[in-house]
């Protein structure tokens, strides 16, 4: 597998996320679920970005490129993610505004995965925190059901990312972000979905102009959680 320098300049295996896409593909072959279609799709869109380096980045960068007549892979990924989110949401019981809310949560969560993947293990930890929160809130482990086949592969990948032996790339980060979105749409009531949309959009907008890593570094508790298990 090819290598790329991480945030500290260390050459690491990249993109490890192909392992997660393969796991999602196996799960899809065993159970043709709308969720696995969504996850396989966003993972493959992320892989395209990884293979061509995904430049330019950010909403502003994509917008400028489109205005100049270019079609960046990031814009293709964004449009594809929304389409896949619409497919996944349409396969459920939600209709009208609630269905639209699910589409937005799924798409924004996949984008969140990419925003977080600037430090080893960060995206995986946010998945774990969201999973714990929705399970505690629902009083059961039922929210895990749609993504259960991918939990073990994510844990295995996190062992390598935290030790800075590999990077997920957009391939894995988008897929894990999609898992976060699935947890939210399957566990939250309509009001909760609106809150989730507001939170995800706010984080995405902030990340467009400011460094999320800098914010985490200024909050001791967040910094401690962020560095937990990471190689020195």
Q: What is the length of the chain?
A: 232
The owner of tokens 């910094």 is 223
At 209 the pLDDT is 85
Q: Contact, 28 vs 21, CB < 8 A?
A: no
Q: Contact, 65 vs 75, CB < 8 A?
A: yes
Average pLDDT value over all residues in the chain: 90
Interval 54-73 mean pLDDT? 55
Can you spell out the DSSP letters for the chain?
A: --EEE-TTS-EEE--THHHHHHHHHHHHHHS--HHHHHHHHHHHHHHHHHHTTT-S-HHHHHHHHHHTT---HHHHHHHHHHHHHHHHHHTSS--HHHHHHHHHHHHHHHHHHHHHTTSTTHHHHHHHHHHHHHHHHHTSSGGGGGGHHHHHHHHHHHHHHHTTSB--HHHHHHHHHHHHHHHHHHH--HHHHHHHHHHHHHHHHHHHHS-HHHHHHHSHHHHHHHHTT---
> What are the pLDDT digits (tens) for 119-156?
999 999 999 999 999 999 988 888 889 999 999 999 99
Percent of the chain with pLDDT over 90: 72
- Residue 57 pLDDT greater than 60, yes or no: no
Interval 166-182 mean pLDDT? 97
- Residue 71 pLDDT greater than 70, yes or no: no
- Residue 177 pLDDT greater than 90, yes or no: yes
The owner of tokens 């489109």 is 66
Report the predicted TM-score, pTM, of the whole model to 2 decimal places.
Answer: 0.92
- Residue 61 pLDDT greater than 80, yes or no: no
At 20 the pLDDT is 97
At 100 the pLDDT is 96
Domain borders along the chain are 3-227
> What are the pLDDT digits (tens) for 4-43?
988 888 899 999 999 999 999 999 999 999 999 999 999 9
- Residue 102 pLDDT greater than 70, yes or no: yes
Q: Contact, 150 vs 39, CB < 8 A?
A: yes
| pLDDT confidence tier of residue 81, bands split at 50, 70 and 90 | very high
Burial of 31 from C-beta contacts in 10 A (0-12 / 13-18 / 19+): exposed
- Residue 60 pLDDT greater than 70, yes or no: no
Number of H helices, E strands in the chain: 11, 2
At 59 the pLDDT is 53
| Segment among 25-39, 56-70, 191-205, 212-226 with least mean pLDDT | 56-70
At 224 the pLDDT is 93
> What are the pLDDT digits (tens) for 87-99?
999 998 888 899 9
């Amino acid at each position: 597998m090819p290598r790329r320098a991480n945030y500290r300049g260390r050459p690491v295996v990249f993109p490890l996320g192909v392992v997660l896409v393969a796991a999602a593909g196996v799960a899809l072959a065993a159970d043709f679920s709308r969720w696995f279609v969504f996850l396989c799709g966003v993972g493959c869109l992320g892989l395209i970005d990884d293979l061509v380096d995904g430049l330019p980045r950010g909403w502003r960068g994509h917008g400028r490129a489109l205005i100049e007549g270019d079609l960046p892979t990031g814009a293709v990924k964004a449009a594809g993610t929304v389409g896949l989110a619409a497919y996944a949401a349409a396969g459920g019981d939600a209709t009208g505004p609630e269905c639209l809310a699910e589409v937005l949560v799924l798409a924004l969560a996949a984008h969140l995965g990419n925003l977080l993947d600037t430090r080893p293990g960060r995206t995986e930890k946010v998945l774990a925190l969201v999973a714990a929160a929705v399970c505690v809130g629902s009083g059961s482990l039922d929210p895990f059901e749609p993504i259960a086949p991918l939990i073990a592969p994510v844990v295995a990948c996190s062992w390598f990312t935290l030790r800075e032996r590999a990077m997920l790339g957009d391939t894995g980060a988008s897929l894990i972000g999609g898992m976060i979105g699935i947890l939210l749409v399957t566990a939250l009531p309509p009001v909760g979905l609106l809150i989730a949309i507001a939170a995800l959009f706010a984080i995405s907008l902030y990340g467009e102009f400011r460094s999320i890593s800098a914010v985490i570094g200024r909050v001791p508790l967040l910094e401690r959680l962020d560095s937990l298990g990471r190689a020195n």
